[in-house]
Amino acid sequence: MDWALMASFYPDLATGITVTLGILVGALSIGVVLGAVICAARLNRVPVLAQVFDGYVLFFRGTPLLVQLFAIYFGLGQFEAVRDSIAWPLLREAWFCAVLALGLNSAAFTSEIMRGGVLGVERGQLEAADAFGFSPLQTLWLVLLPQALRIALPAYGNEVILMLKGTALASTISIMEITGLARKLSSEHFAPFEAFIAAGTIYLVISITLTSSFSFIERRLV
Amino acid sequence: MPTHQRLGGTIVTTPTPRLAVRHLSKSFGSIRVLDGVSLDAEKGQVISIIGSSGSGKSTLLRCLNLLEVPDAGEVALDGQPVRFQTRRGRLHMSREIQALRASLPMVFQSFNLWRHMTVLDNVAAAPIHVLGRPRAEAREHAAALLTRVGLADRAGHYPHQLSGGQQQRAAIARALAMEPKVLLFDEPTSALDPELVGEVLKVIEALAEAGNTMILVTHEMGFARNVSNHVVLLDHGAVAEAGPPEQVFEAPTSERAAQFLASVM
């Protein structure tokens, strides 16, 4: 174990932090927005949409993230319709495919977390809002969402950590995020242990920061 | 709907009841929970609805503010019939229904204080968001109401930090904040530890003395007798006996009423 070598890896690896966090933030954004749509459609049993999303959630929860990433990055390009579409300039970019795959995957899990949060709110809480003349929209904003958020937050914190670690898969499609850089450094210096342990400590610092942020918010929300 | 009576040649108009319930019926599936119930609440009157469990007491109360949708019958507030529509069996929300509910706030058996709000915010929320009161004014009024129910020092607490009796008193303050036309109580002491029942009943009693119109579903027979000036005994969804408490409790005319009273007194 060459500590000095390991220490020398950090400045290089640090350049990958913004890439990792960029993929994470992009994926989580897709996950929250699409997850909310999926959750709303499934809870209200919107015809067609609810069934489509049932299948969507089944697929994205039941298959490996790496398979989903490969299917999107390597797979979509084989279809002419995709290559001819206006989305192709984006879909042939590795970073976009990484954000998309992680985002679609996160949406499936996030929708389930949201569903658990909404269903976890006691009926009586909503009934009280009804009984005091709140409109359906007021009940949603003033009672249902704040309480569902509180219930869902611990599970969502977990999802964020899982997604952070999921970003490492982006290295398999040539993206130079933290893990990609660690692979490069490890082969350049023939020092895989030093390179990957250094990368691991960076992930650890990020996830500890995220975890403590979530527990701080949880405490603030009573 | 004022009724006209001829008395020695002059027409006397009896005042419109605050709340008039006519022939209310409601079934859940094949079970008829309410079977043509009628009831008048005059302004300032305190009505207790009693009866064995499953007799339809809570359903009757919940039909008044449309938490349950009656199948047939009419409810009128100050002579204005309550209008509503259903779509696919569910109540279609309207401003009219919201306004009705705001004037008939309910105190629940399990309190149902909004757990993510402080006690003060619980009391001020509906006045701000439903009645459109200015925030500062609503909070000031809420604080005054909390003082009235003996919770001035708990305004900043969250519901889970309070005892059951305190939560129920806060829930009563929340209902009072609506400046209600009728206060609805759905078994307000049934979820409380026995030693906490008294403090809640005391608050309700004070409200009765202050002239609030109230309809209570209750299992507390002694309380129903002392506080209310009209008692309705429901049996299998129909009124088995109704009248002043002395009459209902001491000289019931129906056999079913006599049976029920013998079993609970």
Report how far residue B244's alpha carbon sits from residue B261's, in angstroms, rounded to the nearest whole number.
Answer: 15
Contacts of B112 in chain A (CB under 8 A): 122, 124-125, 127-128
| B164 within some domain | yes
Judge whether residue B13 has pLDDT over 90.
no
Judge whether residue B7 has pLDDT over 70.
no
- For residue A205, the model assigns a pLDDT of 98
A71 Ramachandran zone, left/alpha/beta (phi>0; psi -120 to 50) = alpha
The predicted-structure confidence for A51-87, as pLDDT tens digits, reads as follows: 999 999 999 999 999 999 999 999 998 999 989 999 8
Q: How close B101 gets to chain A, by Cα (Å)? A: 5
* Rounded average pLDDT over B222-249: 93
The total of structural domains in chain A comes to 2
| B125 within some domain | yes
A37 shares a domain with A6 = no
The predicted-structure confidence for B145-158, as pLDDT tens digits, reads as follows: 999 999 999 999 99
Banded model confidence at residue B12, pLDDT cuts 50, 70, 90: low
Banded model confidence at residue A146, pLDDT cuts 50, 70, 90: very high
Report how far residue B139's alpha carbon sits from residue B119's, in angstroms, rounded to the nearest whole number.
Answer: 11
More confident site: A211 or B251: A211
> What's A141's domain CATH number?
1.10.3720.10
Cross-chain CB nearest to A150 (options B98, B105, B116): B116
A163 shares a domain with A186 = no
3-state helix, strand, coil in chain A (%, to 5): 85, 0, 15
Q: Provide the 10 A C-beta neighbour count for residue B81.
A: 11
A112 shares a domain with A82 = yes
Is residue A41 a contact partner of residue A173, using CB atoms and an 8 Å limit? no
Place of tokens 């904003």: A141
Name the residue range of residue A193's domain: 1-15+176-222
Banded model confidence at residue B263, pLDDT cuts 50, 70, 90: confident
Q: Which chain B residue has the Cα nearest residue A125?
A: B112
Judge whether residue B11 has pLDDT over 80.
no
A210 shares a domain with A192 = yes
A150 shares a domain with A183 = no
* Rounded average pLDDT over B28-53: 94
Summary mean pLDDT of chain B: 92
A193 shares a domain with A115 = no
A192 shares a domain with A168 = no
Report how far residue B110's alpha carbon sits from residue B82's, in angstroms, rounded to the nearest whole number.
Answer: 27
Q: How close A151 gets to chain B, by Cα (Å)? A: 11
B90 touches chain A (CB under 8 A): no
Which residue, among B59, B116, B186, would best test binding to A if mutated, counting the most A CBs under 10 Å from its CB? B116
Banded model confidence at residue B10, pLDDT cuts 50, 70, 90: low
Report how far residue A169's alpha carbon sits from residue A99's, in angstroms, rounded to the nearest whole number.
Answer: 11
Judge whether residue A108 has pLDDT over 60.
yes
| B262 within some domain | no
Q: Which chain B residue has the Cα nearest residue A134?
A: B130
- For residue A220, the model assigns a pLDDT of 87
The total of structural domains in chain B comes to 1
Report how far residue A14's alpha carbon sits from residue A194's, in angstroms, rounded to the nearest whole number.
Answer: 15
A192 shares a domain with A180 = yes
What angle separates helix A17-43 from helix A49-62, to the nearest 10 degrees?
140
* Rounded average pLDDT over A112-141: 96
Contacts of B162 in chain A (CB under 8 A): none
| B160 within some domain | yes
* Rounded average pLDDT over B15-39: 93
Judge whether residue A100 has pLDDT over 50.
yes
Summary mean pLDDT of chain A: 95
Judge whether residue B31 has pLDDT over 60.
yes
- For residue B1, the model assigns a pLDDT of 46
Q: Which residues pair with B242 in a beta bridge?
A: B232
Report how far residue B20's alpha carbon sits from residue A219's, in angstroms, rounded to the nearest whole number.
Answer: 48
Which two three-digit tokens encode residue A32?
Answer: 């929250």
Judge whether residue B14 has pLDDT over 70.
no
**Which percentage of chain A shows pLDDT scores above 90?**
94
The predicted-structure confidence for A11-59, as pLDDT tens digits, reads as follows: 999 999 999 999 999 999 999 999 999 999 999 999 999 999 999 999 9
- For residue B4, the model assigns a pLDDT of 52
CA B81, B83, B89, B90 dihedral sign is negative
The predicted-structure confidence for B206-225, as pLDDT tens digits, reads as follows: 999 999 999 999 988 999 99
Chain B (171-210) residues lying within 8 Å, Cβ to Cβ, of chain A: 174, 178
Name the residue range of residue B174's domain: 114-179
User: Are A133 and B98 within 8 A, CB to CB?
Assistant: yes
| B226 within some domain | no
The end-to-end CA distance of chain A, in Å, is 46
A217 shares a domain with A128 = no
Measured between alpha carbons, how far is residue A31 from residues A106, A159, B135, B143 in Å? 5, 10, 36, 42
Judge whether residue B3 has pLDDT over 60.
no
Whole-complex ipTM: 0.90
Is residue A32 a contact partner of residue A221, using CB atoms and an 8 Å limit? no
User: Are B116 and A147 within 8 A, CB to CB?
Assistant: yes
Which two three-digit tokens encode residue A152?
Answer: 């869902």
Is residue B121 a contact partner of residue B140, using CB atoms and an 8 Å limit? no
User: Are B178 and A132 within 8 A, CB to CB?
Assistant: yes
Residues A86-122 as b or e (16 or more Cβ within 10 Å = b): eeeeebeeebbbbbbbbbbbbbbbbbbbbbebbeebe
**Which percentage of chain B shows pLDDT scores above 70?**
95
Report how far residue B76's alpha carbon sits from residue B61's, in angstroms, rounded to the nearest whole number.
Answer: 14
* Rounded average pLDDT over A107-133: 97
Which residue, among B129, B174, B176, would best test binding to A if mutated, counting the most A CBs under 10 Å from its CB? B129
Report how far residue B115's alpha carbon sits from residue B128's, in angstroms, rounded to the nearest whole number.
Answer: 18
A144 shares a domain with A53 = yes
Residue whose C-alpha is closest to residue A71's, from A169, A197, A154: A169
Q: What are phi and psi of A94, to 5 degrees?
A: -60, -45
Q: How close A160 gets to chain B, by Cα (Å)? A: 24
A79 shares a domain with A158 = yes
| B25 within some domain | no
| B53 within some domain | no
Q: What are phi and psi of A188, to 5 degrees?
A: -65, -35
Is residue B62 a contact partner of residue B264, using CB atoms and an 8 Å limit? no
| B144 within some domain | yes
A221 shares a domain with A152 = no
CA B236, B241, B244, B249 dihedral sign is negative
